[in-house]
Amino acid sequence: MHGYMGYIALIVATLAIGGLSSWYVNHQLKKYEKVPNSRGVTGADVARGMLSYYGIGGVPVQPGGHGQDFFDPRTNSITLSPEAYSGRSITALATACHEVGHACQYAQGYVPMKVRTAIVPVVNLASNAWMFLFIMGIVMNIVGLVDVAIVLYAVSIVFAIVTLPVEFDASRRAMAYMGSVGMTQQEQSGSFSVLRACALTYVAAALVSVLQLLYLLSQRQD
């Protein structure tokens, strides 16, 4: 009964954290999608301008699908969603500058990004295997399998925690650039609101992962 109630509490907490963070992010993104930037430039223009400002070459800025805003260290390229690539809103501006922030990290050998990139293969393996091993350990009553599953899950938490400084720093770089090139106070304030909201999703993901780990450890002790 204790385990069942603990699991229900975990589900409720996960839904609450995920739901609230998603609502807040979407609210901020949509709010500033309606506010055009003062220069009338697109997100792609801003991204290329920021790359040039910091002397970073060889990084293509290309359009992607809906919701595809990311920097890919494997190809050293930036992909922006249609809303960010062609959009002229403050949200587009903030999104583009944030992704260039990641390109700056890569170009300068930012250690947390190097660590995150290095552990991606291990995280992918762990995320695919831990649940299977955990269930098998419970069903077959093999404590060793449960322990291995928990260790594998803990790897994903390390990834979530390492992701936090990477994302925060990319946003810091974006805001520094905006201030350096004299963007308006409205643009800087709106961009900060957008980037802070997006950062919240990573904090929420890390928190949920930690709660999940605590639940798994409690089951192990039981």
Inform me whether the pLDDT recorded for 219 exceeds 90.
no
What is the end-to-end Cα distance of the chain in Å, rounded? 11
Position of tokens 């009338």? 40
Coil, strand or helix: which one is 80?
strand
Tell me whether residue 163 is exposed, middle or buried, using C-beta atoms within 10 angstroms of its C-beta: 0 to 12, 13 to 18, 19 or more: middle
Position of tokens 């805003």? 69
pTM: 0.86
In this structure, the chain runs to a length of 222
Per-residue confidence (pLDDT) for residue 222, from 0 to 100: 57
- Rounded Cα distance, 116 and 112, in Å: 6
Of 32, 41, 49, 42, give the one whose Cα is nearest residue 86: 42
Within 63-142, residue ranges assigned H as helices are: 82-85, 90-107, 111-139
Residue that wins the pLDDT comparison between 168 and 121: 168
Mean pLDDT check: name the lowest of 14-28, 108-122, 130-144, 190-204: 130-144
Inform me whether the pLDDT recorded for 3 exceeds 60.
no
The mean per-residue pLDDT over the stretch 210-221 comes to: 79
Per-residue confidence (pLDDT) for residue 84, from 0 to 100: 97
90 contacts 37 by C-beta, under 8 angstroms: yes
Per-residue confidence (pLDDT) for residue 1, from 0 to 100: 42
86 contacts 44 by C-beta, under 8 angstroms: yes
Per-residue confidence (pLDDT) for residue 168, from 0 to 100: 97
Inform me whether the pLDDT recorded for 25 exceeds 80.
yes
Per-residue confidence (pLDDT) for residue 131, from 0 to 100: 79
Whole-number average pLDDT of the chain: 90
Mean pLDDT check: name the lowest of 22-31, 145-154, 187-196: 145-154
The mean per-residue pLDDT over the stretch 13-33 comes to: 90
Per-residue confidence (pLDDT) for residue 220, from 0 to 100: 66
Provide the strand spans (E) within the chain. 61-63, 70-72, 77-80
Percent of the chain scoring above 70 in pLDDT: 95
The mean per-residue pLDDT over the stretch 33-58 comes to: 96
The mean per-residue pLDDT over the stretch 42-62 comes to: 97
99 has catalytic annotation: yes
Which residue of the set 33, 83, 99, 167 is catalytic? 99
118 contacts 215 by C-beta, under 8 angstroms: no
Measured CA to CA in angstroms, residue 205 lies from 87, 88, 99, 165 at distances of 28, 30, 20, 14
Inform me whether the pLDDT recorded for 221 exceeds 70.
no
65-94 confidence digits (pLDDT tens):
999 999 999 999 999 999 999 999 999 999
Strands 70-72, 77-80: pairing kind: antiparallel
- Rounded Cα distance, 136 and 181, in Å: 57
